[in-house]
Amino acid sequence: MFAGHAFAAPELLAQALTHRSVGSPNNERLEFLGDALVNQFIAEALYRHWPKADEGALTRARAELVRESALAGIARSLELGPRLLLGPGEMKTGGHRRDSILADALEALVAAIYLDAGFEACRAVVLPWFAPLIAALPPPNKVGKDAKTRLQEWLQARQHPLPAYALLHEGGEDHARVFRVSCTLAVPALRTEGEGSSRRAAEQQAAEAALSQIEDA
């Protein structure tokens, strides 16, 4: 049993966990099939989860759920990394921790389950992996929009002045820069701060902090 499925054909699991750096057979063809399956499973799940959402909201939500970092996060929760078979170069550079390799392996695993047990069994195994992410989605009209955009729309809808962002601090080594930014609102009177590896990331964090206060007020 691995990742909620007992393989009748363990060679499928072995192939799903074999990176192309090892040679052939590897998981590239399985990844192609798994990508299509994941997109279908998520599209159906969102269609049922949001019965009144329009196509745009459903499309943005699906993109959020199947993006590389989301898939890699699920792969980590399944402890896929330590089981990957990688070539010496990828092993040396920590390939088992890289988002792209983990996301590809997860899609390959989905395809392997499908080929081993069929569509219905595969869906029953895979959808629970995404259930917490689906449950955590913002409302349909907000999904896919970053914090700065959502804050601006909230203020504009109430005819309030737009926020002002200011750089408070920039430091750290060249390979690990740290930026601290403030976000100031005139109405309602509010000032928040955010920190990130880029000025944009810090602004997004500051905007998210502002949103959490004004939306909960």
Is 107 annotated in a binding site? The answer is yes
- Sign of torsion over alpha carbons 51, 55, 59, 60: negative
147 contacts 192 by C-beta, under 8 angstroms: no
Is 44 annotated in a binding site? The answer is no
Beta bridge partners of 18: 85
Helix (H, G, I), strand (E, B) or coil at 157: helix
Rounded to whole angstroms, the Cα distance separating 19 from 37 reads 20
DSSP alpha helix (H) spans, 52-98: 55-66, 68-77, 88-92
Non-local CB neighbours of 60 within 8 Å, separated by 6+ positions: 143, 144, 145
Instruction: Using alpha carbons only, give the angle 36, 145, 174 rounded to the nearest 5 degrees.
Output: 95
Which of 64, 107, 116, 203 is catalytic? The answer is 107
Q: Is 216 a catalytic residue?
A: no
Q: Is 173 a catalytic residue?
A: no
Is 215 annotated in a binding site? The answer is no
Helix (H, G, I), strand (E, B) or coil at 196: strand
182 contacts 193 by C-beta, under 8 angstroms: yes
Annotated binding-site residues for Mg(2+) read 31, 104, 107
**Catalytic residue ranges:** 35, 107
Annotated binding-site residues read 31, 104, 107
